Homo-oligomer: A and B are copies of this chain.
Amino acid sequence: MKVGYLGPRGTFTEQAVLKISDISETIPFKTIWEVINSVNIGKTDKCVVPIENSTEGCINITVDSMIFDTDLFIQGQINLPIEQNMIINKAAENNEIKKIFSHPQGLAQCRQFLQKNYPNAETINVNSTADGGKIIKSSNEPCAAIGLCSIAELYDLKILHKGIQDNNQNFTQFAVLSKNDTTKSLDSQKISIAFSTNNSPGMLCKILNLFEIWNLNMTKIISRPMRNKSGEYVFFADLETNNSPVDIKNCLSMVKRKTSFFKNLGSYPVYDYR
């Protein structure tokens, strides 16, 4: 089983991949879109991508690719605690840190810490937390990267502060995606669906009422702009499935009838490592 993930080595997604059994090969890709597309075009059998961070929210590109670009299904969700660390290069050991590199998510998750402790340092977006380590390693300026401690090992750098994320309960949900249709497995913990109403007032409310009628608990709702239709939204929702398979089936078929767009993204278990 070939598994694609958001690389390079040393990222949080790589940690999530290590939780999956039955892997023959792991293949890192540079962007989330390339990871997801690798399954679509048969380069990999499965992939692992971040879908939501507890502090920063939805990872838009993951959700959009699932809704608009591919017909993949969620096989499972992996929740990992995210500890962000400040890693410094040689020059920063005795000098004031001038620049701090990380993925935009890494910088966002430590924003309050950075504002308080490094108000004068410039924060710089890079493609991954691991890339930050690579960049500061080759720099003569005093700079820092934010990410996993393993980045320090990987590039022989020093860890200055551990656990600098603003929220101590910071965690990320990763989704395992493949072409295997999981929509029929109605005895799993969670269902994800995407739907769009035809933008008439009160329609969203009517759909949520359907979940109420069949007693399905909606645990998340995210609105995303409908591609190429400005002002219209697609909703991405998670439902808890303590109900009978018949109720779930009836509810979803009613939701499908009452929406202008409907996609069942799969029914799947949650693996919580917090």
Contact = CB atoms under 8 A, between A and B. Distances in A.
Interface of A: 30-31, 33, 52-57, 60-61, 103-104, 108, 111, 115, 122-127, 167, 169, 171, 201-202, 204-205, 208-209, 211-212, 215, 217-225, 227-228, 230-231, 233
A221 B222 CA distance: 8
A227 B167 contact: yes
Contact of A223 (B55, B60, B220): B220
Contact of A171 (B61, B228, B230): B230
A201 B217 contact: yes
A interface SS class = mixed
A89 to B, nearest CB: 20
Contacts of A124: 126-127
Contacts of A230: 54, 167, 169, 171
Contacts of A222: 222-223
A127 to B, nearest CB: 6
A96 to B, nearest CB: 17
Contact of A205 (B104, B169, B212): B212
A125 B167 CA distance: 25
A53 to B, nearest CB: 8
A93 to B, nearest CB: 25
Contacts of A219: 231
A228 B125 CA distance: 24
